């Protein structure tokens, strides 16, 4: 019964908003995700979907903007973090988290078995010229690399004999996950909404030797890219987007297509 419950909760998680690249598409849920049950049982396809007590999955969130961006966004003033940034995620493992954070969401959706925590990079990064999001992501990482002392903090998991193994600051040598969020990126960026990749082909290696992989989904993929475009009113709105994109790491590239229930209701299960 416990395994069924866990699968059902993870199913709800990955079935959240099906807006992937185009965030204007209504949220839908599907009755079936090919391979979903298999990936739930094995603990996630490309990233872990649960952890034992004392373990965690830590994410680095980085906010960025293009110099050319002159858009007025009520909850995100150019040159600063959005108003909801510091309410997005909790930093340390806990038996309970602040309400409506990413940490709170995943704790509830996993029936208490998954601690997703993270750090917010403390300042927004400005890209001086318009460019595609893969190139821009590398620019952002270059700035971050000069200001974060310990990237091994984000390398805590490795795949071994078909299972995900936690080893604090000593995973597989690849950064587990960085999520880069652009305030507003135009069509030249090729980033309409969000996607579970950083979109560059050569590895980015940090000053302390951690590899950040930018390719399509694999066990070593390291990131998510998001074009905010003023769509999110608060941290709760953004949780739905993050859950969708991280769901690709748990279940693969597939999307669902059948309308089921509004995504917000999932938090009330």
Q: What is the pLDDT of residue 118?
A: 98
Q: Which residues pair with 262 in a beta bridge?
A: none
Evaluate the CA torsion angle 5, 154, 215, 211 in order and state its sign: negative
For 18-55, what is each residue's pLDDT tens digit?
333 333 322 222 333 444 444 444 689 999 999 999 99
Q: What is the pTM of this model?
A: 0.84
Tell me the pLDDT of the chain averaged across its residues.
84
| 3-state SS string for 148-177 | CCCHHHHCCEEEECCEEEECCCCCCCECCC
For 110-150, what is each residue's pLDDT tens digit?
999 999 999 999 999 999 999 999 999 999 999 999 999 99
Confidence of residue 69 (pLDDT cuts 50, 70, 90): very high
Q: Which residues, 6 or more positions from 237, have their beta carbon under 8 angstroms from its beta carbon?
A: 231
């Amino acid at each position: 019964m416990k395994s069924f419950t866990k699968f059902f909760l993870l199913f709800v998680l990955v079935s959240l908003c099906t807006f992937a690249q185009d965030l204007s598409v209504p949220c839908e849920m599907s009755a079936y995700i090919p391979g979903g049950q298999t990936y739930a049982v094995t603990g996630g396809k490309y990233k872990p979907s649960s952890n034992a007590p004392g373990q965690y999955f830590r994410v680095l969130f980085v906010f960025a903007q293009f110099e050319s961006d002159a858009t007025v966004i009520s909850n995100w003033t150019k040159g600063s973090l959005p108003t909801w940034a510091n309410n997005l995620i909790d930093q340390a493992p806990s038996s309970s988290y602040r309400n409506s954070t990413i940490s709170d969401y995943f704790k509830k959706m996993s029936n208490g078995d998954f601690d997703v925590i993270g750090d917010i990079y403390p300042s927004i990064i400005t890209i001086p010229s318009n460019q595609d999001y893969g190139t821009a992501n590398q620019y952002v990482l270059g700035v971050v690399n000069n200001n974060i002392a310990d990237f091994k903090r984000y390398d805590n998991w490795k795949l071994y004999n078909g299972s995900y193994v936690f080893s604090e600051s000593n995973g597989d040598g690849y950064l587990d996950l960085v999520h880069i969020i652009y305030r507003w990126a135009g069509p030249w960026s090729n980033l309409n909404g969000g996607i579970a990749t950083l979109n560059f082909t050569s590895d980015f290696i940090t000053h302390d030797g951690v590899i950040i992989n930018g390719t399509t989904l694999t066990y070593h993929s390291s990131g998510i890219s998001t074009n905010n475009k003023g769509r999110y009113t608060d941290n709760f709105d953004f949780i739905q987007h993050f859950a969708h994109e991280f769901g690709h790491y748990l279940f693969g590239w597939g999307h669902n297509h059948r309308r089921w229930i509004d995504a917000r209701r999932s938090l009330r299960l």
